[in-house]
Structure 1
Amino acid sequence: MATKLLLTFAICRLIVTVGLTLDPTELLRLGVDGQLSVDPSDVETASLDFGLLTRAEPLAVLHPSSAADVAQLVKTAYAYGYGSSTHHGFTVSARGHGHSINGQAQTRNGVVIQMSGRHGAPDAAAAGKPPQPRVWAGERYVDVWGGELWIDVLRSSLEYGLAPKSWTDYLYLSVGGTLSNAGISGQAFNHGPQISNVHELDVVTGKGELLTCSEEQNSELFHAVLGGLGQFGIITRARISLEPAPQRVRWIRVLYSNFSAFTRDQEYLISLHGKPASQKFDYVEGFVIVDEGLINNWRSSFFSPRNPVKISSLASNGGVLYCLEITKNYHESTADTIDQDIRKLSLNN
């Protein structure tokens, strides 16, 4: 029977498909380090995505303690498929926080690598768990496990007064997942997406090779993996660029009923990315409000009680509004003048 190798990893997931499936007892005899579990609760969790939209039950779940565990499992899968005369292989899927859009983090009758959810110590080998983020304050970067959630990267870097330059709006996504896509947010016009702020990666290829790559080392793999939808490997470590974290942020929402005015202002604010910090905002993002949806979603806490009345009156024509979300970073020492600075910036723009 013909076999194929398929690597598809979008939003914290990658699927490696090699050959046919194995019996669970055979999987447990593969000699893979880490914790290979057939516990029903582990299998049930790995069967589902975050939104409970798709279901595919694996035979087992690997809780890796290191990148070497991931590499060993993929190498074994490859050997049982392409490297075996019987082609008696099995499927492998790397799962972050399960935010796959179409079940790509799941694999029926295979092995799911649970990359997220097992926070460990810097000495991973001793603790039996993946390492925690390691911040290099002087160099302004952080080394993180591919399954680490961005919220935990933020918490670790803030201990040193630092933060990543570019974010996604929702921080409970895995590092490997967003870097396999792009990682776009309101800071992208200033710093580029998240994939533009990576110094180095450790990647497990489809053959189970563990390679370090960067602009200077294995550069072809580096650029292929970043934003490559997992076609070229599983990200097990990323070195993320940091900058000083702002002490305070002024968050501003501007509502529009006219689409042309909305896009004109957004495009203009984005065009200021090359200006000095004092002449531009630090975050610019636009979105559409349909049927007053903004009032009842997770962002609504940032609106005052008077805003629903204003939104209702503005949205009377067609029920559609447009919103610009912009921010300006500042320090405690300039708190008394931030409103004046924003007013001046708005008038100049």
Structure 2
Amino acid sequence: MKSTQVHVVTLPDGEVRPEHFELVNVDLPDPGAGQVLVRNTWTSVDPGMRLRLRADAPEGYFPAFPLSEPMDGIFTVGVVEESRAEGFPVGATVWHSYGWRSHAIVDPDEVAMNGVADLRVLDVEQLSPQTYLGPLGAMGLTAYAGLRVIDALDARADTRTIWVSAAAGAVGSLVCQIAKLSGLRVVASAGTAEKVAWLRDEIGVDAAFNWRDRPLVESLRDAAPEGLDLYFDNVGGSHLEAALAAMNNWGRIALCGSISEYEGAPASPDNLFLATSKNLTLRGFRGSAHAQLLDEMQQRVGGWLADGRLRYRESVYDGLAKAPQAIADMMAGRTAGKTLVRI
């Protein structure tokens, strides 16, 4: 059995480009006792992967991708082709953590990505398989957990307005909708007029703006004249700085990502003391650290998907060879919603 895989050959210094990767064919052993052979059908492309394309991957995060080796720790969906493991029959659709390759040998007993990506049989009778890489997978868990850690899932009397940055992305678009369904007033920002229109007209946020058009502080002043009670930060840098300026006293901030820093020098906010003067809570979190919320999230979000109250978009690239272009485009802001590779 051969497996086609994408390997990292050089670590990018700045912008990610397709030439940082190569496609290789490798021999796979037969599945051993308790293992399954999975033919992958869909694989994920996520902003957090950029942190693993650095020699100095952040401490406590998933490790850097090794050069000229398989890229482990990437959510993927596939079909079981051979099985020597009870509970994982041939033909079952599953998810696991061995993405960016055509086939993988998976051990159901292996703990993957803090337990979130353990081999799992998926119900695909009502939903397409790739949904489990988006709203019902790690992206959904990240959005749900981030709102949970800042106590925003069930709006309280002192919780009115939330700003979501990178709101047209896989996580941000889910945050916007879950926040609306939880009773919040939602302000969203994105980097193109088309994305802003989608957020306003399709997602139904209360206010949306293009962060490139004018200073963020001015846009936030118009979109949230009474200030922000919550902020879901996917960007960091100048966005976090603007949020600190706009936050109301006792506001709460979920620190999810810092995409503005992934391909350049870190840009810390210059007004961090406002967290002290305004009695703010800044809470860093990782979705994979909240695996205990997965079933709850899937039940709640799955219900919203089923009744049409939650929408999501996909940017799909066909063929494993397109995976490097997919991550390059995503990091450059040329994709919308969840970025996926159909293998």
Structure-1-length-normalised TM-score = 0.24
Larger RCO: 1 or 2 (CA < 8 Å, sep 6+): 2
Higher radius of gyration, 1 or 2: 1
